[in-house]
Amino acid sequence: MSTVKDFPRSLRLKASDGLSLHLMEWSSEGTPMLLIHGFGNDCHVWDEFAPQMAPYYRTIAIDLRGHGDSDRDPNQRYDYPFHVRDLDKLTKSLSIDRVVLVAHSFGGRAAMLFGATYPEKMAGLVLVDTGPEFDQRGTGRIRNDTEKRRGQTFTSKEAYAELIGRNYPNASPSSRRRLVEYGLTLRSDGLFEQKTDPKFHLSRQNMTVELQEEHSKKTTKEMWTALGRIPCPTLVVRGAASDVMSPEIADKMVDTLPHGKLAVVAQASHSVMLDNADGFSKALQQFVLGED
């Protein structure tokens, strides 16, 4: 077991094309475990889970490009392949030969592609409410919410806290406080804005409807192909009340994966690790630590 003294600590490393990426490292010994958030979040969504893994794994949480305290990309290079390249660059910079990836939503799709591209680096994979296909109910809700919030500013953290309360009604008060504390940046005009780059999905939204559908179909096919190429033990985690990941897709993923298992976390929707932190931790500990 590794010591967690003097942790967590903040790190900055270069991405594949020179951007500066922010990470939080919770321990320095053991098999590396890299925690990857979804769209609109940051590394601090793992603040309750990471300390539980730190005694057993070298636990690291990343801010994806355009999120948290990582750089925004002025060229809007936010498609999945750029995140895959970032993960490859980070594992090399951190001297990681094999890694366990725990990844949520958008980050989970990048993790799937990484696992298929670099199978020799994969010691394990946990996909949290994510897959090659999404339920249109959830993606439509997220898309509409993203559009409403694009460029939105807040006069105070309290105003943003009201939005967080509506978007994460099942999260604990401490989780909601962290989302507010780490999710905002203070502008020179005294207003607050979200750290996530508002241009993150802009390139796709400029496509015609036909091109968007073609792009979506191509991505879905690539994701299913990638899933079948992942050689390591893989846990698919679904929130029982999720409107993003359907039970049918979760079952199909387990059937497609060479070594797949399914865990359904009760009293959780899409943000499983925030909605039911205890249930999420129990499911992952059973998988990565072999605990009952």
Tell me whether residue 193 is in a domain.
no
The H or E element spanning position 154 is strand 153-154
Tell me whether residue 180 is in a domain.
no
Nearest alpha carbon to residue 200 among 62, 38, 61, 16: 38
Tell me whether residue 160 is in a domain.
no
Tell me whether residue 177 is in a domain.
no
What pTM does this model have?
0.93
Query: What integer pLDDT is reported at residue 206 of this predicted model?
Result: 60
Q: What's the structural domain count of the chain? A: 1
Rounded to whole angstroms, the Cα distance separating 41 from 104 reads 10
Rounded to whole angstroms, the Cα distance separating 285 from 273 reads 13
- pLDDT, tens digit, 9 for 90 and up, residues 162-199: 999 988 999 999 999 999 999 999 999 999 999 999 99
Tell me whether residue 92 is in a domain.
yes
Query: What integer pLDDT is reported at residue 292 of this predicted model?
Result: 60
Residue-averaged pLDDT of the chain = 92
Rounded to whole angstroms, the Cα distance separating 10 from 26 reads 9
| Domain extent for 211 | 9-137+199-288
Tell me whether residue 181 is in a domain.
no
Place of tokens 């290079």: 77
58, pLDDT greater than 60: yes
Query: What integer pLDDT is reported at residue 188 of this predicted model?
Result: 95
Query: What integer pLDDT is reported at residue 1 of this predicted model?
Result: 46
pLDDT band at 149 (very low <50, low <70, confident <90, very high): low
Query: What integer pLDDT is reported at residue 2 of this predicted model?
Result: 45
Beta pairing partners, 238 = 264
For residue 66, what is the domain's CATH number? 3.40.50.1820
Query: What's at 110, amino acid-wise?
Result: A
- pLDDT, tens digit, 9 for 90 and up, residues 206-246: 656 666 677 788 999 999 999 999 999 999 999 999 999 99
Tell me whether residue 194 is in a domain.
no
| SS3 readout for 208-256 | CHHHHHHHHHHHHHHHHHHHHCCCCCEEEEEECCCCCCCHHHHHHHHHH
Nearest alpha carbon to residue 112 among 96, 99, 101: 101
